Structures are given as C-alpha cells and as structure tokens.
Structure 1
C-alpha cells in the first residue's frame, strides 16, 4: 500500500498515516484516500454554522524562502474565509465544504462536496508565475531584459508574499539578473517581503556569496532583520559561512544585535563550535557575556553543547565562567547535567564555583549524581560510556563541593544516586564521606507520598540489594524513615533485603503511623508467606500482641469496611476503635483462608494466651485446624515456656547472632526451633 498521508487542514484526529495502516490493511489506495476525504469533509461540515457555511481555502505552509516549486515558498497568508449565501443556487459549481490534502507523492489535491451530494477530487490549481520571475529562476538574462522593455511589466509589482523580482534574483543566486534590476531601480535594494526579508537576507540565507557582495557594494543595509529579528550576520553564523560573515563585518554589520530570543551572532557561532567565526566576531567587538532572554550567555551555550574549543576561546577572551542563567544554572551545572566530562574538567581548572546552586537549590554534584547508564543517558551520550562519564564528573566535583553547602540544600547526592540506581556513583560518594544518614528536608520529603527521608529507603523501594548493602555496611540507620524500610522490603517479599535490614538493626516491631495497628505492621504484610513470618518471629517480632484483642471471648461486632481500614461497628461504643487488631485483619477475605496456619506459626512464639472468639471461629471453620485449637489451649508445655523465657533473657539483638554465643549447639537449635532437625 502506498505510504501516503491524507489529512484535512485544522484536523488532528481524522487522518490516516503510515502507523494506522494496520487498521485499514484491507483497503486499496483509492479506498484509503476516499476514507480520508470523507472524514475530512464530515469534520468540515459538522463545524460549520447552521445559517452560514464556510469555505476553508487553506494552503499548506512552506518555508520562508521562495523557490521555483510550491514547497520552497514562504507560508501563504490565510485569506478570510468567504461565507456561502444562505440559500445558494443548486448547481454543480456550488459547494458546501472544501478540503486540501497532500498525497504520498507530494501532489496537492483539493476535495469538495457539491450540494447535490457528489464528491469531487481535483488537483489543486497551480499558482500563476510571472514570466519575468520564470526568467530569473532560469537565469535567462536576455529574456528578462526583453520583458523589462515592455510597458506591462512592473519590476516593483509584489506577489501575495510581498516578493518582487529583486528578491527572486537574490534568493536564487542570479547575480547578473540582480545587477540589472538594481541598475534599473536601485531604490528597491532594501525592499522587504511580508516577513521582512530583504534581498541581502535572502542571499545570505541561501549562501550566495556573489549576490551578498553585489548587494553590499551597492549599499544594502546589513542590519535589517526579519520578523524574528534575525539579521544577515546572524543568518551567516547560523549557516557557518565565514566568507559571508567577513563581508558583512567589513561593511559595518552590527555585531551585538539580538534575535527575538535574545541570541546574538556569537551565540550561534559558539553553538556550532566555529572558532574562525568566533574570532572574527570578537575582533569586531562582540560581547562575550551578553545573555539571551533566558539569561544564557555564550559560555553557557558552549558548556551545554560540549563545545570545548569554543569554551576555551571564550574564557581566553574574558568570559565569566560563573555566570548564571535565569534559573540559576551555571555553565558547570549544565556541563555536569549533559555529561560533558572534559568541559567539567576545564571549568574546574578555571576556578568555576561548584557550590553555586540553581533556583531549585541543587548543585552540579546533585545533577551529576543522577546521571548514569539508563536509556535516557544512552540517547544523550550515544554509548554505554555515559555511566563512566557520570562517574568521572562526580569524582571531579567531590573535592570542589562543600559538604556544608550540600547539607543546606536539603538533599544529598546520595539520595539522587540511590533513587536512580547509580551504584557506582553511590559507592564513590560513600567513600568520599558523604553522610549515609542524611535526611531529606521537609520540602523535599513532601514531594513523596510516603514521606521518605533517607537514601536507604530509596534503595530498598527500588529493590536494589547491592545499594542497600553498601549503605548499611557504611552505617546507614534502617529506622529513620517514617515508613520503616523493613516494611517496604516485607511488602515486596525480598528475603535478601529483609535479612540485610534485620542484621543491621531494623526494627521488626515497626508500626505505620498513619495506619495504627495493635500488632507489628510487618506481620500484616507477610501473612501469606509463612516462612517469612517465622523469620520475623525468630528475630524478635512481638507475637504476643497478635492475641491482645479488645473484645476477648465476647462476641465481636461485624466488620465495617472503609476505604482505608476496617473498623468495628460497635453500637455500645460511640468512639469506634481506629487501631486495627490482628483478628480483624486475619478475618478479611484476603487472609481468612490462611488463618489456621498463621495462628499456628505465631503460637510457637507465645506462652499461655487466650484466643478471642473471632480467632476461635476461624479455627472451628475447618476440621483440619482442630489440632491448632488444641495447641492454643492452656497450659502450654513447660518446654515451650522455658524456650520463651531464655529467648527473652538473651534479648532480640543477641538472638540475631545467636550462633556466635558461647552456648551449646543443641541449645542454640532449641532456641531456634530446630531441635527436631536430625544431625548427620
């Protein structure tokens, strides 16, 4: 099927493009075109008024430089739409809607529907070109001279774009035609088009050096800008043409004029790393610290785009390496952000300040710590060396960055490196002595729903075991965050992370402040994973709190489900209990089928307890759970009570390293509930 795109002017949704062919794979080319036309006309018809029907005669916009073909001409001004009469005559020439589209071969077509309902598709009528213009396009000097002798030929007559023959000659590099036209009418040398293009600006845009020289020699003004305030000198730098730049400067072109965005010719030359043009501009008086409308100076442009040669040239000529853009970013910040390690090295050698924050408060080391080997950086750096560049940049910034200034920023590079899984950068920052327990400021913490605060939390929630281990071994405290990282790891079911956190002192009895429970929150997250539940109990999780029920043996009121939690509907108590109980959680549909095994595991870590009436209901619901109910009936075996007493005397912290205690092996196995494991 032909790769054509059919679209109606002003329409964004009713188009059939190459990506949509899977939806219309059974249609022929003609059927596909018919479908697009029908949709276009239907949209045009539905948007018209009931009393007035509008004919939209839009043309496809082109470039700002006119050429011999339609696609190379400047955009056509949109004429005011003509309204159809309220009661139009019913004949074949009257139409109710018009749509323009371009085929896949670039041919412009017009489609319209007559009032009798028939659909008409025709090639769009070509614009009539004056004979003198055709002669200029072809460089036919003799024909042009003959035409100029005729009284009906006006060389000052402009077309709908405001172009006269002198513009055509300058645009197409016809120097001989240009000289003849200026000899006949020298006053039109600075004539402007509707977009304020002079013949000189057109010649510069098309890099016709001979025409540029001809116009300048005859007095063309080198400082007349177009509607975007782009001067011929600006265009010459944009086209990277030093010969034209030299011509313009020799004829007094203003070197510091800015375009509508505030960019000067020097900005353009630096952006393209063209040292020859930069040198000419500086010698002509170009200012090296001129900012654009966003406060961006040429040195900022060089650092942002990685133009090392241009940067050295600017610094040599007095550019301020510590200039800041409107958002506070410096050249060093931009170089760090875009992974230009050579630029960073050079700026630091020129005493660039690594402690100047932007308006966000971030320093260059912050933005560098985020960079690494993810997909975005691969696109930016072009290879997997992007991570190496980021590591190099961070290594260079560490000695130049004040740790006190980092603390005042309210966020550590460790946070950003951990958040983006930049393990190599994280390791470098840890070795450099950055505080692994640094907390996010309140403003930064509020940006996250869970109010995270530490770099360790970022690593745990990313399930990054290597980063978690690095931070814990460096002294990270696992109990600083509002929502304990251990609860995150339990919720994810990552046993390796859980064991690391517990080995380094994580609180197995942590609670969730916003959702209070009468038992450790970790139990709630691992009820379906009995081995994990047992591991938490082995390491000191409070099992007894699971059986402290508010109602005890009394009947429990029915559960009332809310969006955030389950609460008891107690008619005798005006203040409903907001603290969730164990029996309440285990009674939910999600866990009720596991109630027996869960209770069985937890009973191994308590002494004489009384099960509440709701837990007893669960145990009575399955015959296979009768032995669990019997196990819970007091009194508990003396062996069990002794084990619990010894474990409480040893303490939770020493239980984690019980294998290193100077006690017999059999006792260790007994305390770890491993006495039934056979020795081989």
Structure 2
C-alpha cells in the first residue's frame, strides 16, 4: 500500500515536471527566442539590447529554443557565464527560476559551470539558492562536490539549505540518500568546503536530519565514521570535534579497513579528555545564534576582536 502511494506520488511529480516544461502556444513559433539565444551565445550585448527594445522579442524572453534541450535565453547566459547578457535579460523580466527539461534552474547551470559572477547576479535578483524541488540534485550539493568554495559561500550566504540531501522518494530512502554536502566535501577532499559548511551550521553528526529517513536505515553512518573509513585526514576529524560532533556516537571497528591511525588516536583521545570550558562556551554561543549567516551576528557582539575570531573558528591568532 505504502509502495503504491509512493509510486503514485512519484508519477505525480513527473507529470508536474512535464506540465511545467510543455511549450506554450506563444512558444510554438520560436524564431524570436532563437534570435535571442543566438545573441546570448555569441555574447553580443549590443544585438541583444537591440532585440529586447522590440516588444515582439520581449514577449519571447521566457520561451525555449534550440536542439536537444530547448532552453531559455537566461539559461543560456547562465550556462556560458555571459554576465552582461544575463543582467540584461533580468532587467527585461526574464523568469529567474525557469526550468529546463532536466528541471535545472539557471542558477544550477551557473553553479555547474563555476561562473561565480553569474551566480551572485542571480542570487541578488532573487533566485532560489536551493534550485528546483523537482531536480534530484541541488546547487549546494554540486558546489560541494566540485570544491568550489566561493560559489558555495555565496549560496549559503543567500540562505541555501546547508544540510540539503538528494531528493528521492521516501520509499527509496537509503544510506546514499543521506549523503549530503558535508559528506560529499569530505569524500572528495575539499577541506575548505567542509569547514565552510560547518561554519554555516551543518550537522557535524549526520548529513541528514530527516527523522523518517533515518528511521528507515538500519545503521546510519555518522560523518566521523565516514571520514575514518575513507581516510579523509586528521584535519577533518579535528574540525568535527571542534564543531561539536558526538565523539561517542560512532561505532569504531579497528581493523585493516581503518586507514588513519593518527585520526583514530585523536578521536579516542577526545573520548577520555573532555573539551575545555572555552571550547564548550564557543559551541553554546554558536548554537544560541540561530541565524543562517552567523558571521555578521558574531561581528556585532561587543567583545574583543580576538574572541570574535575564536567564535568564528579563525585560528590565525592564538588566544
């Protein structure tokens, strides 16, 4: 019964995607849209400006054209990193979160192409930092996988979900579905992204906080366990400890699959040596500051700079 409901929900989602992507009547004659796409593809701002000065072309600004995957001009500009064309299209009312046949938004394609300036422009214009609900992936997951820390920073700064997970039906939940950005950045060896995610409030114990999903998995793995298994390095373990990971939570099986003796020793030492009062105070204050972007809130505190840096885990200066 449950499986049947899940399948029906899945089919409803698919139907929704196709209904969103069906060409409208005004899209059937896509000559104007193709002209806009051609101007964007060649990064010809002058031509694009001229076209958009005409009502006929402005009416086609959100139409799709092209072989294979029909796309809007805005999606083309985002994918190619043509910033001025992208800004011009936005100024003339281009739909910012329009979907292509893969349910990808222009922001998603800009993130995939590592076009930081286009990512920032789209976010400032109001693009959803989480991308489309119909896409299995997300901008944050993509940036974490690619190790693009500056793009990731902008997404998080504009409110992207830090513990986002791949979107799969509940009936298909498994350990893979629980592998969020923190896990991905660790496995791919992107230490800067790993720390940035923790700074923005990523759960240091599990990538997934969905209780229903966790309940379906016999033995959900903590991020600590994953880092030890994949030999991510002592720096990752230390960061997880610093950001309050429960060091007693993971089940440690010390055998030939354990790749990191130094990291394991660090974790075992933490189990017998309680955190300093200063470390525990930092964790408590950071938990109290519930804003998505904690740095401005910390910077506004009336305390010495060296303590503000400590709260932000800035270890450039020793206390």
Structure-2-length-normalised TM-score: 0.63
1:427 aligns with 2:153: yes
The 5 A counterparts of 1:21-420 are 290-291=29-30, 297-317=34-54, 318-319=56-57, 320-325=60-65, 327=69, 329-372=71-114, 390-403=115-128, 406=131, 408-410=133-135, 411-420=137-146
Distance 2:46 2:134 in 1: 33
Structure 1 residue 403, shift from structure 2 partner: 3.2
How has the CA–CA distance of structure 1 residues 441 and 510 changed in structure 2, closer, same or farther, with 3 Å as cutoff? farther
How has the CA–CA distance of structure 1 residues 468 and 404 changed in structure 2, closer, same or farther, with 3 Å as cutoff? closer
The 5 A counterparts of 1:616-655 are 655=274
Structure 1 residue 497, shift from structure 2 partner: 1.1
The 5 A counterparts of 1:442-521 are 442=168, 450-478=176-204, 479-481=206-208, 482-490=220-228, 491-508=230-247, 520-521=251-252
Structure 1 residue 426, shift from structure 2 partner: 1.0
Structure 1 residue 534, shift from structure 2 partner: 2.1
Distance 2:39 2:185 in 1: 35
Structure 1 residue 466, shift from structure 2 partner: 1.0
* Higher relative contact order (Cα pairs below 8 Å, separated by 6+ residues): 2
How has the CA–CA distance of structure 1 residues 535 and 340 changed in structure 2, closer, same or farther, with 3 Å as cutoff? same
Structure 1 residue 400, shift from structure 2 partner: 2.8
Structure 1 residue 371, shift from structure 2 partner: 2.2
Superposed CA offset, 1:545-579 (max 9, x none)? xxxxxxxxxxxxxxxxxxxxxxxxxxxxxxxxxxx
Distance 2:226 2:187 in 1: 6
How has the CA–CA distance of structure 1 residues 527 and 453 changed in structure 2, closer, same or farther, with 3 Å as cutoff? closer
Q: Give the number of the structure whose alpha-carbon radius of gyration is greater.
A: 1
Q: Comparing both structures, which one devotes a greater share of its residues to strand?
A: 1
Structure 1 residue 508, shift from structure 2 partner: 4.0
Structure 1 residue 483, shift from structure 2 partner: 4.2
Structure 1 residue 509, shift from structure 2 partner: 5.1
Structure 1 residue 347, shift from structure 2 partner: 0.6
Structure 1 match to 2:266: 535
Structure 2 match to 1:52: none
Alpha-carbon contact 1:398-1:432 (below 8 Å) kept: yes
Distance 1:525 1:357 in 2: 47
How has the CA–CA distance of structure 1 residues 328 and 457 changed in structure 2, closer, same or farther, with 3 Å as cutoff? farther
Structure 1 residue 507, shift from structure 2 partner: 4.3
Superposed CA offset, 1:339-385 (max 9, x none)? 1111111111111111111121111111111223xxxxxxxxxxxxx
1:439 aligns with 2:177: no
Distance 1:527 1:456 in 2: 20
SS of the counterpart of 1:414? helix
How has the CA–CA distance of structure 1 residues 440 and 661 changed in structure 2, closer, same or farther, with 3 Å as cutoff? closer
Alpha-carbon contact 2:30-2:63 (below 8 Å) kept: no
SS of the counterpart of 2:99? coil
Distance 2:280 2:29 in 1: 72
Structure 1 residue 469, shift from structure 2 partner: 0.8
Superposed CA offset, 1:26-75 (max 9, x none)? xxxxxxxxxxxxxxxxxxxxxxxxxxxxxxxxxxxxxxxxxxxxxxxxxx
Alpha-carbon contact 1:508-1:522 (below 8 Å) kept: no
Alpha-carbon contact 2:116-2:151 (below 8 Å) kept: yes
Distance 1:364 1:352 in 2: 11
Alpha-carbon contact 1:369-1:416 (below 8 Å) kept: yes
Structure 1 residue 393, shift from structure 2 partner: 0.6
Structure 2 match to 1:19: none
Structure-1-length-normalised TM-score: 0.31
How has the CA–CA distance of structure 1 residues 659 and 339 changed in structure 2, closer, same or farther, with 3 Å as cutoff? closer
Q: RMSD between aligned alpha carbons?
A: 3.5
Structure 2 stretches lacking a partner, 5+ long: 1-26, 209-219, 282-319
Structure 2 match to 1:205: none
Q: Comparing both structures, which one devotes a greater share of its residues to helix?
A: 2
Alpha-carbon contact 1:355-1:405 (below 8 Å) kept: no
Distance 1:334 1:527 in 2: 46
Structure 1 match to 2:9: none
Alpha-carbon contact 1:423-1:466 (below 8 Å) kept: yes
SS of the counterpart of 1:439? coil
How has the CA–CA distance of structure 1 residues 350 and 522 changed in structure 2, closer, same or farther, with 3 Å as cutoff? farther
Alpha-carbon contact 1:415-1:455 (below 8 Å) kept: yes
